[in-house]
Amino acid sequence: MTLDRYAEVKRETDETNISIELVIDGVGKYAIDTGQPMFDHMLAQLSKHGLLDIKVSASSDNMPDGHHLIEDVAIGLGRALRKAIDKGEGIRRMGFASVPLDEALAQVSVDVGGRGYSVIETKLEESKLGNIPGELIKHFFESFAREAAININARIIDGVDPHHKSEALFKALGRSLRVALELDPRLGKEIPSTKGTISG
């Protein structure tokens, strides 16, 4: 992996063992193994559509619904992104994407300005993705936003199939981050904030 805007995070607890590598200036390459195929598929969408190179290796305590696994991967991935952003010199900072997938439509807006906050509407609370409860998708987004210190406003506008709704949401997150993290040649090395920092 290239070292341009790169971060590595390891997180080991009594519940999980997580190793993550992330490159912002990537091409969407991924190697993801969490033991949860549907979750791996969602993270692959984030990588591919965000042009983020991501490696994730994760094992957990076999909680049937994957709660600890999904939460801790979100924590690790968020911390890796914040570390890779560093001072945020020259980035566009904000991004938006609207992504359809068959009958589903997802919209995500992000601001990587150092304020960890999220408003997430997935309409997946009564659903299952494989053996993953749908509410864990919202929990992933909330944990990721908090640890990355970014603002995420994400919502499912329409959809029936839980797989389609979740996949559209992860694609939209990737696309919006891709815009927000892109370097703006007009900014040069400037920090995109009147405060002079986006580090919190």
Res 91: pLDDT: 97
Res 62: pLDDT: 67
12 occurs within a structural domain? yes
Res 27: pLDDT: 96
- Using one digit for the tens of pLDDT, what is the confidence trace for 174-185? 999 999 999 999
27 occurs within a structural domain? yes
Q: Two tokens at 188?
A: 């040069």
186 occurs within a structural domain? no
Res 87: pLDDT: 94
pLDDT bucket at 113, cuts 50 / 70 / 90: very high
Say how many C-beta atoms besides its own lie within 10 A of residue 21's C-beta. 18
In terms of phi and psi (left: phi > 0; alpha: psi -120 to 50; beta: otherwise), the region of 120 is beta
- Using one digit for the tens of pLDDT, what is the confidence trace for 140-191? 999 999 999 999 999 999 999 999 999 999 999 999 999 999 999 999 999 9
46 occurs within a structural domain? yes
Q: From 63, 61, 4, 70, select the one nearest 37 (Cα to Cα).
A: 70
Number of H helices and number of E strands within the chain?
Answer: 4, 10
195 occurs within a structural domain? no
Q: Give me the number of domains the chain comprises.
A: 1
Pairing of strands 132-133, 94-101: unpaired
Q: Are 22 and 80 in contact (CB under 8 A)?
A: yes
Interaxial angle between packed helices 162-181 and 135-148, expressed in degrees from 0 to 180 and rounded to the nearest 10:
10
pLDDT bucket at 4, cuts 50 / 70 / 90: confident
Q: Which of 9-18, 58-67, 126-135, 186-195 is least confident?
A: 58-67
Burial class from Cβ neighbours inside 10 Å (0-12, 13-18, 19+) for residue 28 reads middle
Q: Which of 29-43, 61-75, 102-116, 124-138 is least confident?
A: 61-75
pLDDT bucket at 134, cuts 50 / 70 / 90: very high
CA distance 114 to 132: 30
CATH number for the domain spanning 106: value is: 3.30.230.40
- Using one digit for the tens of pLDDT, what is the confidence trace for 30-67? 999 999 999 999 999 999 999 999 999 999 876 666 89
Res 61: pLDDT: 78
Q: Around 79, how many Cα atoms within 13 Å sit in the side-chain half-sphere?
A: 13
Query: Does the pLDDT at position 2 exceed 60?
Result: no
Domain range for 101: 6-181
Query: Does the pLDDT at position 1 exceed 60?
Result: no
Res 64: pLDDT: 62
pTM higher than 0.85 for the full model?
A: yes
